[in-house]
Amino acid sequence: MATILDDISRTFSEYLLIPRRTRKGQQADQVDLSTPLSSIERLAAPKLKINTPVVSACMQSVSGTELSIALARQGGLGFIYCSQSIESQVDMIRLVKSHKAGFVQSDSNVRAQATLCEVIELMAQTGHSTVPVTDDGSSTGKLLGIITDKDFWEFEDDLSRTVGEHMTPYSEVIHGLEGVSLKEANQLLHKHKKDCLPIVDAGGHLVALVFKKDYVDHRRHPLEMLDESKRLCVGGAINTHDYKERVPALINAEVDALCFDSSDGFTDYQLEGIQWIRKKYGPDVVIGGGNVVSAEGFDFLVEDGGVDFIKVGIGGGSICITREQKGVGRGQASALLEVANRRDEYFAKTGRYIPICSDGGLANDTQIVIALAMGADFVMMGRYFAMTEESPTPKTSINGQMYKPYWGEGTIRAQNWQRYDDGAESKKMVFEEGVDAYVPLAGPLAEVLHTTLFKLKSTMVNVGSDSLAEFRERAVLTLVSEQSVVEGGTSNVFKFDNSSWGNTG
Ligand code: MZP
């Protein structure tokens, strides 16, 4: 006969945090939100740590290039989806990694014979006001000079004159030599009061450009997730079907973390995939596994597979209908509590700490806070990021409101056959596990996330915690009754409806 668990499948909205003592001097702006994304062996430093405990879902309508860049700049990590060809996933990863390397390849170049009119057109097209002049007009040609929008007056000068007549010639261009470090390049920019530093090789060919604005930008994003070469970090989703081809390609593109994207990770297929990657690439590559919703699933992927982090959650996603369609899943709070408990037992027994990611179903900022209090090291979100300006879908106006399309990976639209079949050969999708929907546009990622994280930090102060580890340790939660949920809202007051003020003038 089937086993019936004693506990009810519970969700985040059924819990509240009880405040703990706040120490003198504890303030939201001093809370540290950094968290490990890879296993920790006996208190050694993790291979990968993120500065903000949020990652974006491995979904077509969420983790595009622009979103992954925006999220990495806020200290989180985007997981570029694998429901696309290996080549296009690799291209997206490369785009994120090359976004702001400090050294960038020049993408607007001219020959000295070009006219001012042509260079004005180029500047308007690319938005760049500094253009290297090379012998063949390419980004790797011999550098002859630099022309900027300060070298001519568009409405005064004769625009049929050549770039060569107006540019700063190479002999007067402050430049760096190939091999110079980013720090030295920035020092040259500072010393010579320049905005752009061309880097040339021993033969005088253009290699890269370094911009002052990138340095300033970096200083403005202190939590930015950078790799050792100062490039933005990015994750890549993988599946159990083509990992033998996809993983080498992603590793070659220098992806920072891999993550199996599967609604059910408690399978021999995923175990084989993890073991294959470990055997080929050793312990250094960061691998996430899942999804699981039980201690048994955790043991399977950690003890047998050796994953770095575990994703928890089946059926809670905002666009997910797996529970309705298949009768599989578990309330997200119950799943997370059980897996986090097993993670702590495993740590006590082995000294190996496995970070846990709560994936899907976070309906508001409060639930993010509760998930982190319950033991998640970080959260993965789809809907939340789909609502931002940077998600890859187009803005759409419906009845005067702006929306963005958001669809599940288990929809026919996502054409993601591998994820939802039984791990064998791909086959035609017989039923959908996700829906195709719209979400309201919330604004730029940085602004939306800033509010969420500020709320999180302020709750952490209520619980007397300076770090996420301390938050998990000190958190005391209580189940709430339906009546206490009602009590938590406003009561017996007339609420002003801001939106109606505009209508009534
Ligand atoms: P949410 O943040 O929108 O609530 O949930 C995002 C999560 O839902 C994803 O990270 C993934 O685990 C899950 N997901 C993605 N597609 C489907 C589906 O089509 C799904 N059923 O459940």
Please write the tens of the pLDDT for every residue from 219-263.
888 999 999 888 899 999 999 999 999 999 999 999 999 999 999
Among 231, 330, 383, 419, the one annotated catalytic: 419
Strands 396-398 and 401-407: antiparallel
Give the number of the atom of ligand 1 that is nearest the alpha carbon of residue 316. 4
Verify whether residue 343 is a known catalytic residue.
no
Residue-level pLDDT at 424: 46
Residue stretches of the chain with pLDDT short of 70: 100-101, 416-428, 497-505
Read out DSSP for 195-208? SEEEEE-TTSBEEE
Give the number of the atom of ligand 1 that is nearest the alpha carbon of residue 385. 2
Cα atoms in the Cβ-side hemisphere of radius 13 Å centred on 176: 26
Judge if the beta carbon of residue 290 lies within 6 A of ligand 1: no
Please write the tens of the pLDDT for every residue from 101-132.
678 888 889 999 999 999 999 999 888 899 99
Among 320, 342, 383, 472, the one annotated catalytic: 320
The pTM for the full model equals 0.85
- d(CA 361, ligand 1 centre) in Å: 8
Residue-level pLDDT at 427: 58
Residue-level pLDDT at 467: 98
Q: Which amino acid is at 387?
A: M
Distance, CA of 248 to CA of 86 (rounded, Å): 10
Judge if the beta carbon of residue 186 lies within 6 A of ligand 1: no
Judge if the beta carbon of residue 64 lies within 6 A of ligand 1: no
Residue-level pLDDT at 429: 74
Residue-level pLDDT at 482: 83
Name the phi and psi angles at 149, rounded to 5: -70, -5
Judge if the beta carbon of residue 322 lies within 6 A of ligand 1: yes
- d(CA 318, ligand 1 centre) in Å: 7
Please write the tens of the pLDDT for every residue from 198-212.
999 999 999 999 999
Residues in the chain: 505
Distance, CA of 320 to CA of 314 (rounded, Å): 9
Name the phi and psi angles at 356, rounded to 5: -120, 140
- d(CA 360, ligand 1 centre) in Å: 6
How large is the angle between the packed helices 65-73 and 86-97, nearest 10 degrees? 40
Verify whether residue 352 is a known catalytic residue.
no
Residue-level pLDDT at 418: 54
Give the number of the atom of ligand 1 that is nearest the alpha carbon of residue 322. 21
Residue-level pLDDT at 422: 47
Judge if the beta carbon of residue 102 lies within 6 A of ligand 1: no
Judge if the beta carbon of residue 383 lies within 6 A of ligand 1: yes
Of 13, 263, 328, 416, the residue with max ligand 1 atoms within 8 A of its CB, to mutate for a pocket test, comes to 263
Read out DSSP for 69-83? HHHHHTT-EEEE-SS
Judge if the beta carbon of residue 361 lies within 6 A of ligand 1: yes
Q: Are 263 and 256 in contact (CB under 8 A)?
A: no
Q: Are 89 and 490 in contact (CB under 8 A)?
A: no
Judge if the beta carbon of residue 434 lies within 6 A of ligand 1: yes
Structure tokens at 503: 């209508």
DSSP secondary structure letter of residue 61 = T
Q: Which amino acid is at 434?
A: G
Give the number of the atom of ligand 1 that is nearest the alpha carbon of residue 384. 2
